[in-house]
Amino acid sequence: MSTDTPSRSDHSQMQVGSGDDVTFDEATAERLLQLGISRRRFMSYCAGLASLLALPQSVVPRLAQAATSTTLPSVVYMSFQECTGCLESMVNSFAFGGGTTIDNLILNMISLDYQETLMAAAGDQAEAQLLSVTAKSGYVLVVDGSIPARWDSGYFISGERSGVARFREAAKKAALIVAVGTCASFGGLPKADPNPTDARSIGDLMANLRISKPLINVSGCPPIPEVITGVILYYLSKGMPKLDSLRRPTVFYGDTVHEDCYRKESFEEGPLARAFDDANSRKGKCLYMLGCKGPVTHNACSRVRWNQGTSFPMMSGHGCIGCSEPDFWDRLNRNNEKGFYIPIASGSGHSRGLPCNTCHDDNGDDDD
């Protein structure tokens, strides 16, 4: 398996290999057993994860070690102008599937040392926890939500500190910053026209504040559950992933959702769905005329699918709204109109429902 190119032909969820061919040390196996997880089940999980991340199987022992080391990597998760959808998504990603539950990422593979929606501590005790975990270097700082540019605007205050101050302090000793969701990655909804609170993406704010730290954008509104945890685990086991020009990991964001969409044949050859619930909709024909933004949206929805491979937007009959792209709320389509039900412009390489070729290039920049 190559390092960075996921298999295009695989439309199903991540493949779970048996993992029997991989071994790791006894101490690790012992620790897992204590947690009620059999070696076989764990290896099959790691193999599946490696396959999802398009990693060579040789990385599996490293994943296993990262997940069972005596000291788990510290993750500090901070929320700003957000809706909690990103966290909900991450909570849904707890791996291993089925069976017992003493087996999720948050309690087994990382130490989630600060997360306001889930943590036991409140008020001053929560603030003390934040100060103590960010006093040591090397944690991964996960951020969701945009941040108002001006500290004195009053648009975001928590623990008596502005969003700007909270972020700047927390970023100081972070080894890596992961912007989860389109709000954090690109400004998202708060930044939608007319951006009433002067909201900024994490990357833009870092530039303003002259913070130079490695940054990964995991965009999507919200991102796919497995993609959020996948990116964190990739970093912990193998370091920085390859990023596209928008700092998104190419392993998940290298292709458009259109490229792996099972409706693509009718995109090229027709017939197209013209209304929700029409005969072509029931047959699973292309949703281009109903406004699908799949051809200009880089994400893994049609490949990884959502919620353990259950479905994805086009499979459930609605076009892609383009949620992993910058400024998707204000995207201009045909006749320069905004709207999720307005077909993308022919300038994007698409004449009205007819075949096109320009949307299939792999660097996939939005050529609108």
Partner 1 sequence: MAATPNVIIDPVTRIEGHLRIQAHAVPDGKGGGTITDPGLSASTMVRGLEKILQGRDPRDAWAFTQRICGVCTVVHGLTSVRAVEHAIGIKVSKNADYIRNMMIGAQYVHDHVMHFYHLHALDWVDVVSAMKANPTSTAALARINNGTYKPNNGALPNAAYFQTVLSKLNNLVSRGQLGLFANGYWGHSAYKLSPEENLLLVSHYLEALAWAREVVKLHTVFGGKDPHPNLVVGGMPCTLSSNTGTVNDDKGGTSLNTAGLATIKTAVARMKAFVDQVYLPDVILVAKRYKEWADFGATAGNFLCYGEFPDPALVKREFTDGAIDYPAGYIFPRGVIWAHAPTTLAPFDEKKVTENVAHAWYLGSDTGEHPSVGETELYYDGPLPDQGRNPDGTSKYMLDENARYSWIKSPRYDGQPMEVGPLAHILTMHARGGTANAQPTDKLVRGYVQKFWINPTAQGGLGLTFTQLNSTLGRIFCRVLETKIIADQIAGRAAGTAAYAGWYQLYYDNRAGAYWNPNTFTRLQQPTLWPVQVGFGFTEAPRGALGHWVKLNRVSGLIDNYQCVVASQWNAGPRDLDGAPGPYEEALRGHVLANLKQPLEVLRTIHSFDPCIGCAVHIVDPDGEPLVQVDVNHGVGSTTRVSGMSCA
Query: Could you tell me if 35 and 52 are in contact, meaning their C-beta atoms sit under 8 angstroms apart?
Result: no
Q: How many residues bind partner 1 (CB under 8 A)?
A: 121
Residue selected from 75, 232, 287, 304 as contacting ligand SF4 according to rule CB under 6 A = 287
Interaction of residue 296 with ligand SF4, rule CB under 6 A: no
Q: Which secondary structure element, helix H or strand E, spans residue 144, and what is its range?
A: strand 140-144
- Between 225-238 and 60-68, two packed helices, what is the crossing angle to 10 degrees? 100
Residue 112 binding target from ligand SF4, partner 1, none, CB below 5 to 8 Å by type = partner 1
Total of residues contacting ligand SF4 (CB under 6 A) = 28
Phi-psi region of 189 (alpha: psi -120 to 50; beta: other; left: phi over 0): alpha
Cβ(306)–Cβ(14) below 8 Å? no
Residue 289: burial class (beta carbons within 10 Å; 0-12, 13-18, 19+): middle
Q: Between residues 22 and 320, which has the closer beta carbon with respect to ligand SF4?
A: 320
292 lies in the site for ligand SF4, by CB under 6 A: yes
* Residues of span 254-273 touching ligand SF4 by CB under 6 A: 257-258, 261, 263-264, 267
Contact between 186 and 298 under an 8 Å Cβ cutoff? The reply is no
Which positions from 36 through 95 interact with partner 1, judged by CB under 8 A? 36, 70-72, 74, 79-89, 91-94
Residue 159 in contact with partner 1, rule: CB under 8 A? yes
Convert residues 182-221 into a mask of x (bound to ligand SF4 by CB under 6 A) and - (unbound): xx----xx-------------------------------x
Determine the interface stretch with ligand SF4 among 25-33, 59-67, 78-86, 126-134 (rule: CB under 6 A): 78-86
In the complex with ligand SF4, the residue whose CB is nearer, 214 or 349, is: 349
Q: Please tell me whether residue 173 binds partner 1 under the rule CB under 8 A.
A: no
Q: Identify residues 238-267 at the interface with partner 1 (CB under 8 A).
A: 262-266
Under rule CB under 6 A, residue 66 binds ligand SF4? no
CA distances from 102 to 68, 132, 176, 183, 189 (A): 14, 27, 28, 31, 35
Closest by Cα among 253, 255, 249, 279 to 266: 279
Q: Is 318 in the site for partner 1 (CB under 8 A)?
A: yes
**Regarding beta strands 74-79 and 140-144, do their DSSP bridges make them parallel or antiparallel, or are they unpaired?**
parallel
**225 is a site residue for partner 1 (CB under 8 A):** yes
- Shortest Cβ 188–ligand SF4 spacing (Å): 5
Under the binding rule (CB under 6 A), the answer on residue 74 touching ligand SF4 is no
Residue 131 contacts partner 1 per CB under 8 A: no
**Distance from C-alpha of 263 to C-alpha of 342, rounded to nearest angstrom:** 18
* 226: its two tokens: 């497995």
At 166, which helix (H) or strand (E)? helix 163-171
| Among the listed residues 23, 57, 65, 104, the single contact to partner 1 using CB under 8 A | 104
Task: Give 176-245 as a DSSP string.
Answer: EEEEEHHHHHH-TGGGSTT-TT-EE-HHHHHHHTT----EEEE-SSS--HHHHHHHHHHHHHH-SPPB-T
The entry of ligand SF4, partner 1, none near residue 257 (CB within 5 to 8 angstroms by kind) is: ligand SF4
**Which one, 202 or 236, has the nearer CB to ligand SF4?**
202
Phi, psi (deg, nearest 5) at residue 325: -105, 150
Question: Which partner from the list partner 1, ligand SF4, none does 35 bind, CB cut-off 5 to 8 Å by kind?
Answer: partner 1
List of residues contacting ligand SF4 (CB under 6 A): 82-83, 85-86, 144-145, 181-183, 188-189, 221-222, 257-258, 261, 263-264, 267, 286-288, 292, 294-295, 314, 319-320
